[in-house]
Amino acid sequence: MTASDQETTRESGGAANMLDGNLTTIWHSQYSPTLIPFPHSIVLDMRAINEVSGFTYTPRSGTSRNGAILALNTGMVTPLTVANTGHDMFCPGVSILPDGRILIRGASNAASSTIYDPANNMWSAATPMNIPRAYQSNVTLCNGQVFLLGGSWAGGQGGKNGEIWSTCAGWRGLANVPVAPILTNDPQGVFRSDNHAWLFAVADGKVFNAGPSRRMNMYTTSRASAVQDLGLRADSGDAMNGNAVMYDVGKILTLGGSPAYQDSDATARAYAIDINNGVKVTRTGDMAARRVFLNSVVLPDGQVLALGGQAYAKPFSDATAAMEPEVWNPVTGKFTALAPMTAPRTYHSVGLLLPDARVFVGGGGLCGTCTTNHPDGQIFTPPYLFNADGTARPRPSITTAPTAAVRGSTIQVTTSGPTPAFPLIRMSTVTHSINTDQRRIPLTPTGVTGNTASLTIPSDPGVVVPGHYLLFAMDVNGVPSVAQTIRIG
């Protein structure tokens, strides 16, 4: 068997070792992949000498279980099968649409798109993307459309320029929205350097790109599409597999990351970015632990919880795992270490805010039968729900609130007692440490009658991206209620 060329980069380098001492026979170098090999082998009898340029495979669309739903009220996990879409949704991009449906696109068969409707628990195939991709980032825009960029992990490498999706028109390419400005200087090249961009929807259909490249950008997604270079993120280097969260209107915290996707040291640095009037970047306090593959969750009180990760970027490994969460205070700019987790949460882990103001963290691994798989989860209870002696604090409650509102309107919310603060936090999705859906919008009552507060929803769609939000009421001690869900459009 002979070959005209060989793969010399990617996971395992090139063929190097002779199989039997015969110089005309070669054997691939010892294979130690960062991704689990496919658990299948095929022997082909082609009955002739042929030239083979490569192999492709058809992603699974059978009837084996490939998903699950967790019921928060019971803790029960229900496995499910998604066979009708023909979409292998391993490592896709995910966004919540304004009507509550979920758009999933890309992944192992990289052009596919799927929509999940939680109202009827139905999955349906959507229009394929124009550019196949995986490990891209995507974000729901102020007009309810979805923008995506990057993603050379699948579907070919390079040229993963911007596309936009709408309910009525499906996908369309954007002529002047190149991927090049977001590229990091990764040693694996564009296969990794266009992955997992930190994207935030702002006004007028624009998208702020905060990283992980050290350069920041503003993308315009309207018909007159464009990109504007906004300069460096202060003294930060590339921060691949770190993350970023909008903890207040126009204010973003970036955390951790490493210069390369894998096999590189993580950083403990954090930066606060203010995009309300131009772009201002300030290096804030460092985390106690260096973290890559971490998750960050904005809490109702505006603090940001950093969960999991590891000090050295190594997919499918729990070595150097950070076990203690840290919470960042936007007033002091400092992190405080909290009670440690009992399971490592590194590559492929997730973290999400729950309606009861606690935080779900789970997963990690997903590499066949390796020992670093963590098919479980935990719920973290933040300090604001405890007294100093460890007992549970009394919590306010929302007794009446609307289930829907429009931007610019005033709503009435009745609570069990005085509650001076009402944060809105958009319901969100997370994959590979990236959550472009979550954003916190603090509301202050414009009037109070008894225990009923008048709250005005901001009119700016760049602030209140359409969708479903968790509305919390917070008492004078900073204790949040269980949230009420409100759809804002």
Would you call 383 helix, strand, or coil by DSSP?
A: helix
Name residue 322's amino acid.
Answer: A
Catalytic residue among 116, 135, 347, 384: 347
Residues 391-413 as b/e (b if ≥16 CB within 10 A, e otherwise) read eeeebbebeebeeebebeeebeb
Would you call 385 helix, strand, or coil by DSSP?
A: helix
Strands 484-488 and 404-405: parallel
Separation between Cα atoms, residue 329 and residue 285, nearest integer Å: 10
Backbone angles phi, psi at 383, to 5 degrees: -60, -25
> Do residues 182 and 419 touch, judged by C-beta distance below 8 A?
no
Strands 93-96 and 102-105: antiparallel
Separation between Cα atoms, residue 251 and residue 440, nearest integer Å: 9
For 35, what's the count of Cα atoms within 13 Å in the CB-facing half-sphere?
9
ω into residue 178 within 30 of 0, thus cis?
A: no
Distances (CA, A) of 440 to 176, 301, 375, 437, 485: 30, 9, 29, 10, 14
Separation between Cα atoms, residue 164 and residue 181, nearest integer Å: 18
Cα dihedral 14, 17, 19, 24 sign: positive
Separation between Cα atoms, residue 237 and residue 125, nearest integer Å: 39
Separation between Cα atoms, residue 446 and residue 444, nearest integer Å: 6
CB atoms within 10 A of CB 309: 33
Name residue 310's amino acid.
Answer: Q
Name residue 350's amino acid.
Answer: V
347 is catalytic: yes
Tokens of residue 419, six digits = 């509650």
Q: In which residue are the tokens 């909008």 written?
A: 246
Tokens of residue 442, six digits = 């603090």
Of 458, 463, 453, 459, the closest CA to residue 484 belongs to 453
What positions carry a catalytic annotation?
347
